[in-house]
Amino acid sequence: MRTKARSFLRSLSLVIAAGCILQATSHVHGRPLPLDSLVLNPKPDPKDAIATARWLVSENSWGVLNTIADDLGGAPFGNVVSFCDGPPNEGTGIPYFYLTTLDPTAQYALKDERASFTTSEYPVGTCGNRDPENPTCAKITLTGKLKMLNGNSEEAEFAQKSLFSRHPEMKDWPKDHDFRVFKLDIQNIFLIDWFGGPKPITLDEYLHPNRSRSRSTLELSH
Amino acid sequence: MRTKARSFLRSLSLVIAAGCILQATSHVHGRPLPLDSLVLNPKPDPKDAIATARWLVSENSWGVLNTIADDLGGAPFGNVVSFCDGPPNEGTGIPYFYLTTLDPTAQYALKDERASFTTSEYPVGTCGNRDPENPTCAKITLTGKLKMLNGNSEEAEFAQKSLFSRHPEMKDWPKDHDFRVFKLDIQNIFLIDWFGGPKPITLDEYLHPNRSRSRSTLELSH
């Protein structure tokens, strides 16, 4: 019996080892994975568009921030940036950025505030083998005004603390590069998280998901 | 001896199994990784900006495509899209897209061609633990005109074949959704792949990297 048990254990561990090696090599090529793969919270039901929108913004750590490039004929200019919407599990839904005014995005925004911010479920790692353009692999674009915050304001302090917590290396970025805290003042929400086109979400519903949910429950009960 | 060998084998396989489980759970949470983690070619030396730009565009399978939203006050509107620049290892550097005209991005482009396309090294998986906004984690923005191709042209056939090869599910997308092949006619290249600001790359250098390299070698030898 003891020999059989040992043999079973050995076979089991060999199978697990082989499976793991296969998984590790076929998936990660030995490279550390991007931080976004460490999902904090499970994805909401796609039927709950408001929760999905807030989840996408809270789970992601980067996206593309778009401004108008006056020196490129007024073309829309996307730029990869890091962001956060508040402390872990206490996100506000509002994306905050730490941008150097040496970078065109900050310079463009200071001349023309029109902007949008786009982020995808794909790098979060929950789309499985679905294509990044498959509508069930969620994506969100928040359109509004990109504003530089007053460095002495409470909001700038809150945003910078949250940004440094989510992006620890930011606190060591060069002091002479004039990094400033910016926020996207949201006016419009474009979310695709299923077939059938964008989900209609108002700014109020997005910013106050719990209030919206209570109201829906109230409406349903009458 | 046989017992010792068995015991050694068992211990070894148990250690490998434990290590793999630890790696798999801490990195991927049991989820399949995005396709972009399967890097085809190693990252070029950041000093070779042209090669880095072309590598970024060839290795990535998705990014953010920006157009001007006339119904949102002319705001720049980013949208997550899949793309490819040609067959594997034979990329052209030109991003091709498969867009439904039901989607705002295609609609905006048909009214105003000004556009940009942005993609990041971060989801490729080669930035390690560096922040997505760290300049050594490369990013590229191609600015130009977003054009719908004539469906009967050789270029559209080449692009669609390449897109369907890179994004196999596209060929099964709904026929009644009016998917069309678009290309970005590039006019300007913005690449950051190291400290010190964007790298100066001309369109000619980007589109003909080998010719540019030969010329540089020629200039150096004189």
More confident residue, B219 or B45: B45
Asked if A33 is an interface residue toward chain B (Cβ–Cβ < 8 A), one would say: yes
Q: What average pLDDT score do residues A50-56 get?
A: 98
Average pLDDT of chain B to the nearest whole number? 85
Tell which of A7, A12, A26, A64 to mutate to test the B interface (max B CBs under 10 Å). Answer: A64
Q: What average pLDDT score do residues B20-44 get?
A: 50
Do residues A195 and A189 touch, judged by C-beta distance below 8 A?
Answer: no
Please name the residues between 82 and 141 in chain A that touch chain B, using a CB distance below 8 Å: 82, 98, 102, 104, 114-120, 122-123, 125-134, 139, 141
Q: What is the ipTM of this complex?
A: 0.83
More confident residue, A24 or B40: B40
| Chain A residues in contact with B10 (beta carbon < 8 A) | 6, 9-10, 13
| Chain A residues in contact with B125 (beta carbon < 8 A) | 28-29, 31, 33-34
Q: Which CATH superfamily is domain A34-221 in?
A: Electron Transport, Fmn-binding Protein; Chain A (2.30.110.10)
Q: What average pLDDT score do residues A73-96 get?
A: 97
pLDDT at B20 over 80: no
Do residues A190 and B104 touch, judged by C-beta distance below 8 A?
Answer: yes
Give CATH for domain B34-220: 2.30.110.10
Q: For the segment B181-204, what is each residue's pLDDT rounded down to a tens digit?
A: 999 999 999 999 999 999 999 999
Q: How many CB atoms lie within 10 A of CB B99?
A: 24
> What band does B42 get if pLDDT is binned at 50, 70 and 90?
very high
Closest by CA to B173, choosing from B184, B182, B161, B164, is B164
Do residues A187 and A204 touch, judged by C-beta distance below 8 A?
Answer: no
Given the structure tokens 């130009």, which residue do they identify? B144
More confident residue, B196 or A25: B196
pLDDT for the residue numbered A1: 41
> What band does B81 get if pLDDT is binned at 50, 70 and 90?
very high
Do residues A82 and A170 touch, judged by C-beta distance below 8 A?
Answer: yes
> What band does A59 get if pLDDT is binned at 50, 70 and 90?
very high
More confident residue, B139 or A40: B139
Phi-psi region of B71 (alpha: psi -120 to 50; beta: other; left: phi over 0): alpha
Asked if B171 is an interface residue toward chain A (Cβ–Cβ < 8 A), one would say: no
**Chain A CA closest to residue B114:** A75
**Chain A CA closest to residue B60:** A132
Q: What average pLDDT score do residues A49-66 get?
A: 98
Q: For the segment B118-143, what is each residue's pLDDT rounded down to a tens digit?
A: 999 999 999 999 999 999 999 999 99
pLDDT for the residue numbered B211: 80
Q: What average pLDDT score do residues A58-72 get?
A: 98
Task: Out of A14-18, A181-185, A208-212, B199-203, pick the least confident.
Answer: A14-18
B108 vs B104: CA distance, rounded Å? 6
> What band does A38 get if pLDDT is binned at 50, 70 and 90?
low
Residue pairs between chains A and B whose CB atoms are closer than 8 Å? 235
As given in the structure block, the two tokens for residue B36 are: 């972009």
The partner residue sitting opposite B76, judged by closest CB among A6, A9, A77, is A77
Exposed/middle/buried for B192, CB within 10 Å: 0-12, 13-18, 19+? buried
Going from N- to C-terminal start, the domains of chain A cover 1-32, 34-221
A120 vs A129: CA distance, rounded Å? 15
